[in-house]
Structure 1
């Protein structure tokens, strides 16, 4: 699943915090499978005790429920956070503390000292709210206890409503405007502080803070409505579709003999049509192996048909977004959303998509012709029959991604060992398993990793919740639970004078302060004390057992773990003084770059020995072939990005807007596979909520990541010099620097600095070289 991308003035929280999960279509993608020579290898760092500890931590089933020697604690080592009611109390304490700090910022013009603290205090306000909201988002998705989930839902809704009010708070805005209008105050700011101030400024204006009071109230109402509609839409994207009725005679000749025989026996026993639910194993088997077209067509239709309610939910969401944009004087939601992204405007996105489409179309047409020839030979038809949507998986069945060389089975522990070794080679950073106190995690299978820099010490912590269980969301995700932030210059004592009732307020905010004061340390290479980041990785791998042994990962699962760890390391290394720009809190169309780049390392035989305890060199070349349908799938992803742009254009506000008609017309104009009348796939396009108007971002970052890989790492993937360059030009800044400047710096491409329409089109012309990413995995 993908995070929503709107950035609000006090935080990116009128949407869920950043989450990165697989696309609905990820299972249809495969890696680029080409034989590759073994490159010259930089000498890897030597084996350490941490490597063997990693294997023991993740691979030994007996360790899953091992007793800890640590004293009992609450979630994430917050001693008080032991019950759902305690979480509700934390929410109330945080809300009161936020109200006090809001009053302080609003009155900053009464004192020069307070004016100098405005940007810092806005970031503190954002941090104290985000810390609880982000935790609520994790709990409601990961916690197995329904009482905890209910408390998280309440906390999330309550604090987001308050955040929406703050985003239109005119006093806060006027104070910030006064700060930015004062040359002396601006001159005294660090570049990071100034960038943070500008982000707050732009986000306030995007939230309609300049509107009259009635319209500001409407902005808050619309924001809440969009949140509600979006969550409803996401629920409906995963709701079950009605089954398709398949006649037994339509399943003659199934290539899958085992399941095919079971289905035929079922039909013979019941003497009636077989009801096959979209998404089931039976449905997938039929789509891949049924020679007759009709059962595949039926399942496709069942899987891509929507109810009127589902269509109404989506179209109401798009209309509300359009209204919100018009309220703040923007032509469309796309124009409003993209103004602070790398793309800057829908027009620039179109330049990128057009260039990418022009590059991809010839390859996709060639692949489609190959499928048509297969269909011709299979059905003995006249030349080049039409390939329909239900033909794709039969004539070009998706093959599982595979490594570029032959490898032994990779357990979860050995993959984490390889990740730690890779980070040690590139950045001088290691992963170390650490003990969990009872109650610190939400499930007994959660593991905790300390991220350690060889020079500066602990960077932060990663909680790994990697095993599937009932009720846990599908896919993989990266959750930011706590961001980096400098804390020793907070001037907490200055808040006290703004308490209404000193003793009562002090007691009321005590829990929030205790929550905020956790996990701080003095950094040796930076001035001051910093709040260290905490992130959570969610996956759904098979759980190790005493009988089956350790969890063995398929190659696509290794790719997924590398991708998510790319996000995690961005959170760790992007240690900024302001949480609003730390780690993955950067432009949406830039945030996937580190995670996609991580996948490229798995294309290199030079990296693969890191998975071996003895670190033996890998020299045997693989004999894998390129997926002939990859270009078709990429072409389809480009169309989805174009559809997202249309849905968030002024068209969404036109009377009679019909999302299905828009889909049909787009396919008629630009698709290679014809639209199927009667279908409405868009109600399953969950990214329309999380990545509204920015779905192009993944394709965009794929192109940049491919370029970075080729220029920096392809010839020597373990180069510390290149690792340091990427770390210092990109990762360490988080969102505190213009991403076009970061791209320009890391690629030594000064012509990319401006990030104009020409730059967007140029990125569209870059090929997805050495590509391994599956379109849609975020």
Structure 2
């Protein structure tokens, strides 16, 4: 076994990615899985009476080696997939599911955890919390089931692991394999920076001319600017077809049978555990608690968002008619005319803005905000990582190491679409303790040539801030146990730090200091700055409607009996909402990776908006002081939320910070829907 997979020897304790090969993963996985099983067996079979040390604390370190191997593997599988890694994922998934079933449903382990959890009043608060969570998780995993029900639960979990892996790989295949060549005579309306990006994408694939791929940083601006309506339709339909069997991967990438089976298995799992449906099962431990509270929130926002979208649609249709489009506005039309309307109302040209929004400048803004709020400092370090594009920083506060931060920002073939934050290593205080190694991943368009700057759109800059907000949750974590470290919180609470961090990008103090022209160094003019911020909210009806459609369809999939035809259920939900036809779901069912490439966001896609209610109110706490960097509020935010991880229920952490629950008024105002 390659020892580098478990004993990381790179700078600052990073893995030596240059010494790790794909053929190293299988033997390391098998060896560490065997060690983890032995550690779990030792805990379960311990003849001594169960206590916190020999049961709950022992569980916190039982899988350490396996976790390190998987952290490296799944990081690489997400940022640089290839056939070997995809095959390994398919091999690992059922084995991990079987292992998790054996351990989480072991009656001996369940009895020992239950014995400790029944005496939690004698434990320190954090110890009590992880004991309670351990019992809750085992119970929800089916440890209390017996006989046929126990066997069936294990089968369901093993099958779902295979299906969710295949779902993700099908979407990736469609995204990776699709290219749309665009001839020179069909470039009308496309800004120079976009054409250069399209040519760079073609060069990366050894193709001539320029192409559109399904990377969001290419497809979205193409739909916003391309005057060729027929070409927009082709591009949009390819984007919408991902995972449907009609995409680049053909029938082999059809996710609809997978979706149907996943939904049926989730419902069966919930029923085995005594829940009415999967939504009831999933929402029980979340802040929302039940589907009724979720629907109430989403319903309130839907009314305002749909009204705004209808008003905008009338205006966009008028613009389309001026272009000779006398048919109904189509999904491939919306972004073009919304961008035109944005320019008319706010006089913002993306080509005028991009020179001020380079990746380096916006990273400077991200780090400066972290310094002013939390006194964090960032020093670049050299390390052998998975790509030369990936950067690393040592994060300190007053000389003390707080974290290692990695940023992988550019799109490449084989990289999963979207943006995310993960941790190669979580913070904890066991033994000598360890600080986190945090990874932010995005899919921005790479520079035109080596040494040239990378230019971001406004949405790209927001994404950069969003993912770093997640990173602060890891970096500032200050708990004893790894299972409650960093972002290990309720699903509908985890987006609070990320969405809160976005607010600072919109502030004049931040933009004036960092949005500077990449050649002259001159700050973005105040008038342009204000128009950019206003333009960022200009299509709020569209953005909110497409999100809510996805959230409400997700909830409907998991309430009541599972649908035999998920697309019919999706259609029924949208019809019942009277959703605007020209605004499709942000994530249509066949490529709804949040919900079907794993279980984290299943019946939980609503959590972005649940958290947004809080993030709007949390930023208001700064504004109320007259100082968006108020040190007292920042310290309270860190002490009550960011450093606490999952050491207390989310609602308790929120109340410790704000002393009351928020309403939706700040959210509606922030989205310009009030």
Interval of TM-score (by shorter of Structure 1 and Structure 2) = 0.7 to 0.9
Alpha-carbon distance in 1 for matches of 2:358, 2:191? 31
Helix, strand or coil at the partner of 1:469: coil
- Considering fraction of residues, name the structure with more helix: 2
List per-residue Cα deviations over 1:723-764 (Å, max 9, x = no partner). 112111210111112111222222231xx3xxxxxxxxx644
Q: How does 1:273-422 map to 2 (within 5 A)?
A: 279=214, 289-290=226-227, 304=240, 306-307=244-245, 309-375=254-320, 387-397=329-339, 409-422=356-369
Q: Secondary structure, in 3 states, of the residue corresponding to 2:491?
A: coil
- Which stretch shows the higher mean deviation, 118-127 or 342-351? 118-127
Instruction: Say if 1:596 and 1:705, in contact at 8 Å, map to a contact too.
Output: yes
Offset from partner CA, 1:152-192 (integer Å, 9 cap, x none)? 6655653443123212111111101111223xxx2332212
CA RMSD in angstroms, aligned pairs only: 4.1
The answer to whether the 8 Å contact 2:390/2:409 transfers is yes
1:361 is paired with a residue of what secondary structure?
Answer: helix
The answer to whether the Cα contact below 8 Å between 1:588 and 1:697 also exists between their aligned partners in 2 is: yes
Query: Which residue matches 1:38?
Result: none
Q: Which residue of 2 aligns with 1:92?
A: 30
Give 1:237's aligned residue.
171
1:335 Cα deviation after fit: 1.3
Equivalent residues of 1:571, 1:583 under 8 A apart: yes
Q: Compared with structure 1, are the counterparts of its residues 214 and 446 closer, same or farther at alpha carbon in structure 2 (3 Å cutoff)?
A: same
Contact 1:688 1:695 in 2 (8 A): yes
Whether 1:586 and 2:492 are equivalent positions in the alignment is no
Q: Does the aligned pair in 2 maintain the 1:85–1:151 contact within 8 Å?
A: no
Cα pair distance change 1:722/1:75, threshold 3 Å: closer
Match of residue 469, structure 1, among 395, 399, 412? 412
User: Is 1:217 aligned to 2:117, yes or no?
Assistant: no
SS at match of 1:101: helix
Where do 1:478-489 residues align within 5 Å?
478-488=421-431
Distance in 2, matches of 1:459 and 1:88, equals 32
Gaps of 5+ in 1: 1-69, 261-275, 489-528, 753-761, 773-778
| Alignment deviations for residues 435-460 of structure 1 (CA, whole Å, 9 cap, x no partner) | 32xxx4223333221111227x1112
Question: Does the alignment pair 1:767 with 2:667?
Answer: yes
* Partner residue of 2:131 out of 185, 197, 218: 197
Match in the other structure for 2:206: none
* Structure 2 SS opposite 1:598: helix
**Aligned CA distance change for structure 1 residues 708 and 110 (closer, same or farther; 3 Å):** same
1:122 pairs with 59, 66, 72, which one?
59
> In the alignment, which residue of structure 2 is the partner of 1:659?
566
Alpha carbons 1:73, 1:82 under 8 Å: kept: no
Q: Does 1:445 align with 2:355?
A: no
Structure whose CA Rg is larger: 1
* Secondary structure, aligned partner of 1:646: helix
SS in 2 for 1:329: coil
Structure-2 separation of matches of 1:585 and 1:560 = 21
Structure 2: unaligned runs, 5 residues or longer: 1-7, 196-210, 246-250
State which of 432, 436, 460 in structure 1 corresponds to 2:403: 460
**Would you say 1:430 and 2:377 are equivalent positions?**
yes
The 5 Å alignment of 1:31-110 reads 76-77=14-15, 82-108=20-46, 110=48
Using a 3 Å threshold, how does the CA distance of structure 1 residues 109 and 675 change in structure 2: closer, same or farther? Answer: farther
- The alpha-carbon distance between structure 1 residues 609 and 442, as it changes in their structure 2 partners (threshold 3 A), is same
Are the counterparts in 1 of residues 402 and 435 from structure 2 also a CA contact under 8 Å? yes
641-650 vs 222-231, greater mean Cα deviation: 222-231
TM-score by length of 1: 0.70
Partner of 1:696: 606
SS at 1:706 equivalent: helix
What CA distance in whole angstroms lies between the structure 1 residues aligned with 2:151 and 2:635? 48
Residue among 625, 628, 650 paired with 1:717: 628
Q: Secondary structure at the match of 2:364?
A: helix
Partner of 1:560: 463
Return the alpha-carbon distance in structure 1 between the equivalents of residues 158 and 349 of structure 2.
44
Displacement of 1:604? 0.3
- Rounded Cα–Cα distance in structure 2 between residues aligned with 1:282 and 1:728: 41
Say if 1:481 and 1:535, in contact at 8 Å, map to a contact too: yes
The alpha carbon displacement at 1:694 in A equals 0.4
Q: Spell out, residue by residue over 1:49-96, the C-alpha distance to the aligned partner (whole angstroms, 9 max, x if none).
A: xxxxxxxxxxxxxxxxxxxxx997899346996444544443334223
In the other structure, the counterpart of 2:208 is: none
**2:581 aligns to what?**
674
Which segment drifts farther, 623-632 or 683-692? 623-632
Q: How many Å separate the matches in 1 of 2:39 and 2:479?
A: 22
Residues 97 and 157 of structure 2 are in contact (CA less than 8 Å); yes or no, is this contact kept in structure 1?
A: no
Cα distance, 1:295 vs structure 2: 7.1
**Structure 2 vs 1, CA of residues 391 and 329 (structure 1 numbering), >3 Å: closer, same or farther?**
same
2:204 maps to none
Separation in 2, partners of 1:695, 1:637 = 9
How far apart are residue 127 of structure 1 and its match?
Answer: 4.3
| Structure showing greater relative contact order (alpha-carbon pairs closer than 8 Å, 6 or more residues apart) | 1
Correspondence for 2:478:
575
**Cα distance 1:137–1:580, how it changes in 2: closer, same or farther (>3 A)?**
same
Query: For 1:17-36, what aligned pairs fall within 5 Å after superposition?
Result: none
**Structure-1 separation of matches of 2:370 and 2:191:** 45
Distance 2:81 2:240 in 1: 31
Q: In structure 2, what is the Cα distance between the partners aligned to 1:111 and 1:370? A: 72
For residues 620-641 of structure 1, give each alpha carbon's deviation from its aligned partner in whole angstroms, at most 9, with x where no partner exists.
2435244543213202211211
Q: Does the Cα contact within 8 Å between 1:127 and 1:579 map onto a contact in 2?
A: no
Which whole-Å CA distance do the structure 2 matches of 1:712 and 1:282 have between them?
37
Are the equivalent residues in 2 in contact too, given 1:609–1:615 (CA < 8 A)? no
In 2, the alpha carbon distance for the partners of 1:85 and 1:245 equals: 34
Contact 1:597–1:706 (Cα < 8 Å) also in 2? yes
Distance 1:224 1:297, change over 3 A: same
> Does residue 642 of structure 1 match 2:642?
no
Distance 2:336 2:523 in 1: 38
Residues paired across the two proteins, number: 616
* CA gap 1:635/1:146 in 2 versus in 1, 3 angstroms: closer
Query: SS of the counterpart of 1:484?
Result: coil
Bigger Cα displacement from structure 2, 283-292 vs 315-324: 283-292
Q: Distance in 2 between matches of 1:574 and 1:676?
A: 39
**Offset at 1:362?**
3.0
1:159-178 to structure 2, matched below 5 A, reads 159-178=96-115
